[in-house]
A and B are shown apart, each in its own frame.
Chain A
Amino acid sequence: TQLLEQSPQFLSIQEGENLTVYCNSSSVFSSLQWYRQEPGEGPVLLVTVVTGGEVKKLKRLTFQFGDARKDSSLHITAAQPGDTGLYLCAGATGNQFYFGTGTSLTVIP
């Protein structure tokens, strides 16, 4: 059972375009994390959001936690080829992390 659904599953865009990835659930999480995973490597933590409605910015990446702490979004402005990778959201509840289904992003130069 997947607690967290991500959309879209695949995304291929041109360099310079903007994009948004969504992470949705019917469950409430005490915190939510976003990771990026590159081929042959483990996921690397990008950000943790803990408060409903919280917005965090990391250079060209903007993360938002839903007011009800059930969903989150990741917005990338002016995507670059270096942003290519698998983006994963992970919600924490009951001392355990539940990972989303993943969004595979390809940024074409």
Chain B
Amino acid sequence: KAGVTQTPRYLIKTRGQQVTLSCSPISGHRSVSWYQQTPGQGLQFLFEYFSETQRNKGNFPGRFSGRQFSNSRSEMNVSTLELGDSALYLCASSLVPGEWNEQFFGPGTRLTVL
């Protein structure tokens, strides 16, 4: 079956703009998590959605937001972009939430903020 897909794969924006990233989970998976990966900070948890509800949130400013649709697809939005938002944004899906369920990661969206 198809894996987790993320669009777009690459994105270049300028400071102050906003951006929306999309994630389609594996068919049947209802939980979607978002992570930010940078060389300095590594992989950091942004938020998790299940059944269209945000279930958990990491320590990121309110400029970072997300949502999940009834078909489990998810989007994340970053407003008023800053240079430090340049990163690889990874989406992971699992059947249901919980640390005992395997997460499957997508290839990520590489965001560059100029």
* Residues of chain A having any CB pair with chain B under 8 Å: 2, 30-31, 40-45, 48, 88, 90, 92, 95-102
Given contacts A31-B100, A88-B43, A95-B97, 20 further A-B contacts (CB under 8 A): A2-B41, A31-B99, A40-B107, A41-B105, A42-B90, A42-B106, A42-B108, A43-B43, A44-B105, A45-B103, A45-B104, A88-B42, A90-B43, A92-B99, A95-B56, A96-B58, A97-B99, A99-B35, A99-B42, A100-B42
Contact A99 B44 (CB under 8 A): yes
Q: B residues within 8 A CB of A44?
A: 105
Contact B45 A97 (CB under 8 A): yes
Contact B45 A42 (CB under 8 A): no
* Residues of chain B having any CB pair with chain A under 8 Å: 4, 33, 35, 41-45, 48, 55-56, 58, 90, 92, 97-100, 102-108
A-B interface contact total, Cβ < 8 Å: 52
Contact A95 B99 (CB under 8 A): yes
Given the contacts A41-B107, A42-B90, A42-B105, A99 and B43 also touching, CB distance less than 8 Å:
yes
Distance between B33 CB and nearest chain A CB, rounded to angstroms: 8
Among residues of A, the one whose C-beta sits closest to the C-beta of B42 is A101
Given the contacts A42-B92, A42-B108, A98 and B45 also touching, CB distance less than 8 Å:
yes
